[in-house]
């Protein structure tokens, strides 16, 4: 199947007809449709599938398997194509698998931010299946297993913590913390997971699965326009800036907008506004980024002073010290302004990812493999977070970026050309071939 057909088969799921943006929130109907798409796409390719204990999806291309083996039902182990019947005889998902860490994983995520673009996440999953197709069309037989993965709740779009599935897999968050995360309506992650037919009691780091991973390579749309400036369709990631999310709760006193004298007000909107302005100034001074993209005013009346304002700060910087200093400045400005207005303020870090430097040896091997095929792939740092950042703490990890001419992302306007997406598939296939050749 061509990249275009595969891409189009996912395109309509979870797209809002009004905005054209995606609302693929974890454990909703749109998410269930994405998960079903993954299982069906894998089964059509005779890839063995399973949903792991942390709701991440996997599709395995085992050594000796081919595209024309007997198909399996989604979620079920299938009969292998000619050979290694001992794997099935020993039963279970892992029965008979080689114990050494050798599987090369590729993939990304299918969930979205509110009104996200089509490419952030899905491009990596679709390209992974397309790369498997391309390698098989060429008759390539991997000497090590390959698996396609789709990680759960990468954006934190519903439960607030980015990369939740890969954090759980790698032990970067405790199962109890994950189970208790709540969406905007108070539903816990555990409740939502159970209502999707999955068992939240099983959430935990998966050492057995990790032990089988030799390398992870995530392909992702670039969330900036550096590749466009460099005239390259594909790039290789160098590092991910440290970044996190902080929740600021300002509590004031509701009152009448038309009768309350300015001096008598305890208006939480004012320290919130001071924090927004300080975020901009502190980020500019530090060469960093700070954003308030979500704010909730209570009770939300146009003719009343708010009783409370809840706001979320997303902050990112090239280094940890710069990030800590900038967040400290923003918090201090919020506290100063809150005190001046008689408003209470609470600040809580909801999610954090330290600096990630991708494995230099793997990165060099990826770059060599691409150069060997005549693919120019500049090396870039990024301020965007990825599941690859969490996998990198446990297994050699690399990332490929695909050119985004405008750089716009987390928006319906996000775009990559068809030709560049296809170039990404060719690059990913080259990397998989390099990493799984005898
Ligand atoms: C993920 O897309 C992030 O960087 O927020
Ligand atoms: Mn994203
Ligand atoms: Mn992403």
Strand partners, 149: 58, 107
Q: For every one of its 438 residues, what pLDDT tens digit does the chain have, with 9 covering 90 and above?
A: 789 999 999 999 999 999 999 999 999 999 999 999 999 999 999 999 999 999 999 999 988 887 765 544 444 444 333 333 223 223 333 344 454 579 999 999 999 999 999 999 999 999 999 999 999 999 999 999 999 999 999 999 999 999 999 999 999 999 999 999 999 999 999 999 999 999 999 999 999 999 999 999 999 999 999 999 999 999 999 999 999 999 999 999 999 999 999 999 999 999 999 999 999 999 999 999 999 999 999 999 999 999 999 999 999 999 999 999 999 999 999 999 999 999 999 999 999 999 999 999 999 999 999 999 999 999 999 999 999 999 999 999 999 999 999 999 999 999 999 999 999 999 999 999 999 998
* Spacing, Cα 155 to ligand 1 middle (Å): 6
* Spacing, Cα 30 to ligand 2 middle (Å): 17
Would you say the CB of residue 162 lies under 6 angstroms from ligand 1? yes
Nearby residues for ligand 3 (ion, Cβ within 5 Å): 120-121
Atom of ligand 1 nearest to the CA of 410: 2
Atom of ligand 1 nearest to the CA of 409: 2
* Spacing, Cα 29 to ligand 3 middle (Å): 20
Residue 260's SS3 state is coil
Q: Which residue has the tokens 């996000």?
A: 414
Atom of ligand 1 nearest to the CA of 384: 4
Would you say the CB of residue 385 lies under 6 angstroms from ligand 1? yes
Residue 169's SS3 state is helix
First to last CA, the chain: 26
Nearest to 218 by CA among 359, 45, 11, 317: 359
Sign of the C-alpha dihedral, residues 164, 167, 172, 175? Answer: positive
DSSP string, 91-158: -TTTTT--SSS-EEEEEEE----TTB-SSTTHHHHHHHHHHHHHHHHTT---SS-EEEEEETTSS-TT
* Spacing, Cα 115 to ligand 3 middle (Å): 13
Strand partners, 297: 309
Atom of ligand 1 nearest to the CA of 163: 1
- Pairing relation of β-strands 234-240 and 255-256? unpaired
Q: What is this structure's pTM?
A: 0.90
Q: Which ligand is nearest to the CA of 113?
A: 2
62 contacts 49 by C-beta, under 8 angstroms: no
* Spacing, Cα 242 to ligand 1 middle (Å): 11
């Amino acid at each position: 199947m061509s990249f275009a057909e595969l891409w189009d088969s996912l395109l309509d799921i979870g797209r809002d007809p009004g905005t054209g943006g995606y609302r693929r929130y974890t454990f909703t109907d749109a998410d269930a449709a994405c998960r079903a798409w993954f299982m069906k796409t894998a089964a059509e390719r005779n890839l063995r599938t399973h949903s792991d204990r942390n709701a991440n999806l996997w599709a395995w291309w085992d050594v000796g398997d081919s595209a024309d083996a007997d198909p399996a039902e989604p979620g079920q182990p299938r009969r292998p194509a000619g050979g290694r019947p001992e794997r099935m005889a020993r039963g279970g998902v892992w029965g008979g698998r080689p114990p050494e860490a050798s599987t090369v994983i590729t993939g990304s995520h299918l969930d979205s931010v509110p009104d996200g673009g089509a490419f952030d996440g899905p491009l990596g999953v679709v390209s992974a299946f397309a790369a498997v197709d391309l390698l098989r069309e060429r008759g390539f037989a991997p000497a090590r297993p390959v698996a396609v993965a789709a990680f759960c709740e990468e954006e934190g779009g519903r439960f607030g913590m980015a990369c939740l599935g890969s954090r759980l897999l790698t032990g970067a968050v405790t199962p109890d913390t994950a189970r208790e995360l709540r969406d905007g309506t108070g539903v816990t992650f555990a409740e939502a997971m159970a209502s999707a037919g999955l068992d939240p009691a099983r959430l935990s780091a998966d050492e057995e699965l990790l032990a089988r991973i030799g390398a992870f390579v995530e392909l992702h749309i670039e969330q900036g326009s550096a590749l466009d400036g460099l005239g390259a369709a594909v790039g290789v990631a160098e590092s991910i800036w440290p970044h996190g999310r902080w929740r600021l709760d300002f509590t004031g006193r509701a009152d009448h907008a038309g009768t309350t004298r300015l001096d008598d007000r305890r208006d939480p909107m004012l320290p919130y506004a001071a924090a927004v302005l300080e975020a901009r100034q502190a980020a500019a001074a530090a060469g960093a980024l700070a954003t308030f993209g979500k704010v909730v005013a209570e009770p939300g009346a146009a003719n009343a002073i708010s009783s409370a304002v809840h706001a979320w700060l997303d902050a990112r910087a090239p280094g940890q010290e710069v990030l800590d200093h900038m967040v400290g400045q923003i918090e201090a400005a919020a506290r100063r302004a809150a005190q001046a207005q008689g408003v209470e303020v609470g600040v809580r870090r909801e999610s954090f990812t330290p600096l990630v430097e991708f494995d230099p040896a793997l990165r060099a091997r990826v770059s060599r493999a691409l150069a060997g095929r005549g693919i120019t792939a500049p090396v870039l740092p990024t301020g965007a977070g990825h599941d690859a950042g969490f996998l990198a703490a446990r297994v050699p990890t690399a990332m490929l970026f695909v050119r985004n001419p405008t750089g716009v992302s987390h928006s319906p306007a996000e775009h990559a050309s068809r030709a560049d997406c296809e170039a990404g598939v060719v690059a990913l296939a080259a990397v998989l071939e390099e990493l799984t050749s005898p």
